Amino acid sequence: MGFIEKMLTDRHTTLKYDGHTSEPIEIDNGIGQGDLLLMVLYQYYNVDLLDIPSRKNEDALAYVNNTILVATAETFTKAHTMLADMMTREGGASEWFRTHNSPLDYTKLALIDFAHRSSSKARTVLHLSQRQIETSTSTKYLGVIVDQSLGWKVQQAYTIGKGTKWAAQIRQLARPT
């Protein structure tokens, strides 16, 4: 049996809380948190997601377990139709999540329609069979807040707010008592 296969099979864990230790619980999914091979193995695990966009004006970006499906079209409605197709087609994202024992949390999906801030194109919802996804004006990807006009005001405000919070906490700690 290969090293990686052995590392990922026949695994168990126990939970400890309030002085109680549970019976061993079988683990049939995932890699141990903090495992040094996590980054490398996940690249192999999710590489099929990058193959889903196979048609003109479709693309995907991924870093570890953060994946973006991209559709470029004349209207947002056409782009949403392309995204829904990438989710539901044979070999699409929904099938990937099902076959990889990795349930999709629809609350984590974000839909952003990028256009110039002076654009008057109507932004519509994305219709999936499981639910409708409303458009967002911004979302965070890999720690950077991206907004629908591709500006930096939201990221700047977030960064200033976070810096102000940390400065206030440090000032509290450094204050003489």
Q: What is the domain partition of the chain in residue ranges?
A: 1-36, 46-136, 139-177
CA 60, CA 89: separation in Å to the nearest integer?
A: 15
Which pLDDT score is estimated for 161? 94
Q: What value does the mean pLDDT take over residues 105-123?
A: 83
Q: Are 71 and 65 in contact (CB under 8 A)?
A: no
pLDDT tens, position by position, 135-173 = 888 899 888 998 888 888 999 999 999 999 999 999 988
33 has pLDDT over 70: no
Q: Are 76 and 122 in contact (CB under 8 A)?
A: yes
CA 174, CA 166: separation in Å to the nearest integer?
A: 12
**Cut 0.85: pTM above it:** no
Burial of 77 (0-12, 13-18, 19+ CB in 10 A): middle
Q: Are 31 and 41 in contact (CB under 8 A)?
A: yes
Whole-number average pLDDT of the chain: 86
